[in-house]
Structure 1
Amino acid sequence: MTAPHKDDFGNPVGQPIDNWSGCEFPPRSDMVGNHVIVSPLDVARDAQQLFEANKTAGDGSRFTYLPTNAFDDFAAYKAWLDGMTANADPILHAIIDKATNRAVGVAAFMRIDAANGVVEVGNINYAPALSKTIGGTEAMYLMMKRAFDE
């Protein structure tokens, strides 16, 4: 076993990568699984379905760790989605249940630093129809596969 590479302070860090030149932003294309399609969010296509799916959650507690509260008003939710999808980062995705062809969740590639090969998956919000399902797990797998392998 080789000794770990250390920084100037003696802290163990990863091995240097020769000829690193950064990477590209994640592509804005569908990720298709057996149970879900993770698709770049299209406000016109997805907003109403997501709003309705989130209304089934009841008390809004699913929004506790998100940058906004639950929405009681569709126009406000749509305006928020319009703002979230207006920039290159985050790249918001709708998670579409293949069995129903309805959007039931959201997740984003965010805080993208292509020069250093960094991307975060966040802004995750699963409606009850997606929570604790194979499709919910598969959505995260598809996003990780894209982040690491594509």
Structure 2
Amino acid sequence: MTARLNEFQQPIGFDLTGWTAAKQPEKTTLSGHFCRLERLNVAQHAEELYEAFQDSPDGRHWTYLPYGPFHSSDEYREFLLTMEGLSDPFHYAVIDRSTNKAVGTVSLMRIDTANGVIEIGHVVYSPRMQRTPLSTEVMAMLSKYVFEELGYRRLEWKCDSLNEPSRAAAQRFGFTFEGIFRQLQVTQGRNRDTAWFALLDSEYDAIKSAYQAWLEPNNFDEFGHQIRKLSDMTPR
């Protein structure tokens, strides 16, 4: 691509004439075939979420998070109460439509409407939704909401650089790795180098098509196992 030059013959970025700020997330329920995303509500979701997390044999799913594991339902409820009313992070409960129960949480965060940048974070999935179509459908619904309805230009994914499952998930979902920010945070008394990934609005249509194709019923066998991998469908 040929660089644009200003009147001083300096290279400048591509034109954004007509750009308008993105919108804030609203208390809108996002519905799919396998699951739906509801605004986190402690009274409705806390007990179901805590029960779902009890399916884990240990606390390994909380290792890279700045909170947890929680040792009682009351402790977890108190934590959720601090999250429930926040506008950033904006927390959702993931509802499994087959049981109509909450099985995980996810949020939109670091919301920068002026520049059109937003991040998916606080991804905490119970064993009831791990390695199921639900996690991919969550990404399909959130990316559609972010790009098509709220008007963002950039969707980010960040994780501890040592969290290999999260890094693999970001790339499986079509995000591009952008580098490591060293010594960015202190998490539970430990250093955290943070891996950055992003998906741009110009890349979204191809990723959307991959999500749709992967979620088609004919991509699953009689036991619910995928036939084609999402990573084989997303462009590189």
Q: TM (normalized to structure 2)?
A: 0.58
Q: Could you tell me how far apart the structure 1 residues matched to 2:97 and 2:3 are?
A: 45
Q: 1:59 to 1:6 in 2, by over 3 A?
A: farther
Give the % identical residues. 34
Q: Give the aligned residue type for 2:101.
A: R
- Determine the structure 2 residue equivalent to 1:53: 52
- Determine the structure 2 residue equivalent to 1:26: 25
Q: Give the aligned residue type for 1:28.
A: K
Q: Could you tell me how far apart the structure 2 residues matched to 1:30 and 1:64 are?
A: 29
Q: 1:49 to 1:18 in 2, by over 3 A?
A: same
Deviation at 1:5, TM superposition (A): 4.9
Deviation at 1:75, TM superposition (A): 1.1
Q: Could you tell me how far apart the structure 2 residues matched to 1:42 and 1:130 are?
A: 19
Q: Could you tell me how far apart the structure 2 residues matched to 1:134 and 1:109 are?
A: 20
Q: Provide, for residues 56-105 of structure 1, a one-character-per-residue CA deviation record: whole Å limited to 9, x for no partner.
A: 11211111222202111111111111101222111100000000001001
Q: Which has the higher contact order (CA 8 A, sep 6+)?
A: 1
Q: TM (normalized to structure 1)?
A: 0.90
Task: Please give the residue correspondences for 1:68-83 in structure 2 after superposition, counting only pairs within 5 Å.
Answer: 68-83=67-82
Structure 2 gap ranges (5+): 150-236
Task: Please give the residue correspondences for 1:126-145 in structure 2 after superposition, counting only pairs within 5 Å.
Answer: 126-145=125-144
Q: Could you tell me how far apart the structure 1 residues matched to 2:13 and 2:39 are?
A: 33
Deviation at 1:6, TM superposition (A): 7.9
Q: Could you tell me how far apart the structure 2 residues matched to 1:111 and 1:70 are?
A: 24
> CA-atom RMSD, angstroms?
2.0
Q: 1:5 to 1:69 in 2, by over 3 A?
A: farther
Q: Could you tell me how far apart the structure 2 residues matched to 1:76 and 1:16 are?
A: 50
Q: Could you tell me how far apart the structure 1 residues matched to 2:55 and 2:4 are?
A: 51
Q: Give the aligned residue type for 1:100.
A: T
Structure 1 runs, 4 residues or longer, greater than 6 Å off? none
In our comparison, the structure showing a higher alpha carbon Rg is: 2
Q: 1:4 to 1:22 in 2, by over 3 A?
A: same
Aligned residues: 147
Q: Could you tell me how far apart the structure 2 residues matched to 1:134 and 1:6 are?
A: 47
Q: Give the aligned residue type for 2:110.
A: R
Q: Give the aligned residue type for 2:117.
A: V
Q: 1:14 to 1:66 in 2, by over 3 A?
A: farther
Deviation at 1:20, TM superposition (A): 2.1
Q: Could you tell me how far apart the structure 1 residues matched to 2:115 and 2:47 are?
A: 36
Deviation at 1:14, TM superposition (A): 5.3
Q: 1:20 to 1:100 in 2, by over 3 A?
A: same
